[in-house]
């Protein structure tokens, strides 16, 4: 695995500011991981041309605490500013690098990208914003079955159900494995063999299949789903039709709340992470900045939270 002193998850304003503040105090190497194909993807995607990017929030002007600051300007001006900062600080940003898990390993953390452990780091700053969402199939899901169809793994395991898991990555494998002891489980994958599952998960998955606890439906592609009496009717492209009680799609992507829960971060009732005054979570050396650190926030607050976090890392851990 590639080693870093700090991994920043998310290349929005909070993530960019975190990397800049870290490099300014000599923290190296710093790597920023972004699942989209561009930085500040939310602004790129959801702001119309010429739209204002406001430095004030509901009439309140946040005073800058660190190196990153701006005045209200257009979308184009703000993005030009961000790219100039990236060049000036020579930030190491890895695009199309979706972080799917973070696991404690001794005194460090393994950072998993696209279901594979790729980085080992001392510190993690999560700056993923609030707009993440799981991937969904190309065909529509009827409203009548939406209470039986899920796009992320369950937090609580159901019992006594006939369940279909759809996907070919580690999340799909782990979901099927977690469900199979108390349910009848089938795993549908469109290819003839698995390519993205790590060796440990693949070994367990094959063992459960040999024991008859998981039915592997390889080279199967779903055409559509329909309501059935008390369940979901699944139509495969080869003409096969089967009915399941529940379906779990594991096709990549995750809501921020679900991702935080998965890696073990405690959440408040409003969905924001439980942190101390310096934005450190219950996981030591794992911090949050930006939108997910506040119930409501803005870009200047994201910049300032990054400064607070880096100051805390230096004061608590590096002095």
Number of domains in the chain: 2
Torsion 141-147-149-155 (CA) sign: positive
Whether 152 is covered by a domain: the verdict is yes
Q: What is the CATH number of the domain that holds 87?
A: 3.50.50.60
For 40, phi and psi rounded to 5 degrees?
Answer: 50, 50
Q: How confident is the model at residue 131 (pLDDT cuts 50, 70, 90)?
A: low
Spell out the residues 6+ positions from residue 222 whose beta carbon is closer than 8 angstroms to its own: 137, 139, 166, 188, 234, 235, 236, 237
**How far is it, in rounded angstroms, from Cα 205 to Cα 215?**
10
Instruction: Tell me if 209 sits within 8 A of 216, measured CB to CB.
Output: yes
Share the mean pLDDT of the chain: 93
Task: Dump the DSSP string for 243-294.
Answer: EESEEEE--S---HHHHHHHHT--B-TTSPBP--TT-B-SSTTEEE-GGGGS
> Are both 110 and 157 inside the same structural domain?
no
Mean pLDDT computed over 200-209:
94
What 8-state DSSP symbol labels residue 6?
A: E
**Residue 226 sits in which domain range?**
143-249
Instruction: Tell me if 74 sits within 8 A of 50, measured CB to CB.
Output: yes
For 215, phi and psi rounded to 5 degrees?
Answer: -95, 115
**How far is it, in rounded angstroms, from Cα 264 to Cα 36?**
24
Whether 138 is covered by a domain: the verdict is no
Which of 200, 216, 249 marks a domain boundary?
249
| Residue bearing the bigger pLDDT, 31 or 270 | 31
Predicted pLDDT of residue 233: 97
- The 10s digit of each residue's pLDDT in 146-171 is 999 999 888 789 999 999 999 998 88
Predicted pLDDT of residue 289: 96
- The 10s digit of each residue's pLDDT in 20-78 is 999 999 999 999 999 999 999 989 987 888 988 888 766 678 899 999 999 989 999 99
Q: Is the per-residue pLDDT at 296 higher than 70?
A: no
> Are both 195 and 87 inside the same structural domain?
no
The pTM of the full predicted model, rounded to 2 decimals, is: 0.75
Element (H, E) at 210: helix 199-210
Q: How confident is the model at residue 84 (pLDDT cuts 50, 70, 90)?
A: very high
For 253, phi and psi rounded to 5 degrees?
Answer: 80, 160
What 8-state DSSP symbol labels residue 196?
A: S
Structure tokens at 11: 């290349």
């Amino acid at each position: 695995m590639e080693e870093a002193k700090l991994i920043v998850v998310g290349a929005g304003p909070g993530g960019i500011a975190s990397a800049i503040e870290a490099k300014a105090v000599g923290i190296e190497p710093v790597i920023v991981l972004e699942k989209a194909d561009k930085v500040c993807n939310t602004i790129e995607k959801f702001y119309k041309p010429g739209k204002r990017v406001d430095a004030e929030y509901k009439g309140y002007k946040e005073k800058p605490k660190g190196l990153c600051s701006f005045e209200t300007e257009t979308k184009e001006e703000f993005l030009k500013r961000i790219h100039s900062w990236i060049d000036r600080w020579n930030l190491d940003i890895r695009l199309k690098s979706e972080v799917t898990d973070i696991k404690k390993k001794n005194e460090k953390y393994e950072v998993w990208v696209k279901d594979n452990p790729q980085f080992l780091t001392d510190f993690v700053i999560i700056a993923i914003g609030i707009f993440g969402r799981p991937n969904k199939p190309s065909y529509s899901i009827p409203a009548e079955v939406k209470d039986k169809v899920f796009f992320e793994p369950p937090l609580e395991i159901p019992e006594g159900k006939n369940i279909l898991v759809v996907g070919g990555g580690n999340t799909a494998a782990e979901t099927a494995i977690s469900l199979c002891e108390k349910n009848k489980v089938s795993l549908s994958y469109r290819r003839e063999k698995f390519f993205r599952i790590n060796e440990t998960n693949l070994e367990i998955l094959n063992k459960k299949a040999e024991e008859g606890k998981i039915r592997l439906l390889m080279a199967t592609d779903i055409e559509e789903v329909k309501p059935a009496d008390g369940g979901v009717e699944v139509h495969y492209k080869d003409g096969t039709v089967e009915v399941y009680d529940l379906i779990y799609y594991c096709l990549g992507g995750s809501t921020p709340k679900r991702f935080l829960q998965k890696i073990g971060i405690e959440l408040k009732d409003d969905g924001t992470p439980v942190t101390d005054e310096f934005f450190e979570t219950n996981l030591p050396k794992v911090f949050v900045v930006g939108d997910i650190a506040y119930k409501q926030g803005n870009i200047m607050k994201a910049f300032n939270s990054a400064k607070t976090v880096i100051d805390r890392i230096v004061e608590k851990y590096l002095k």
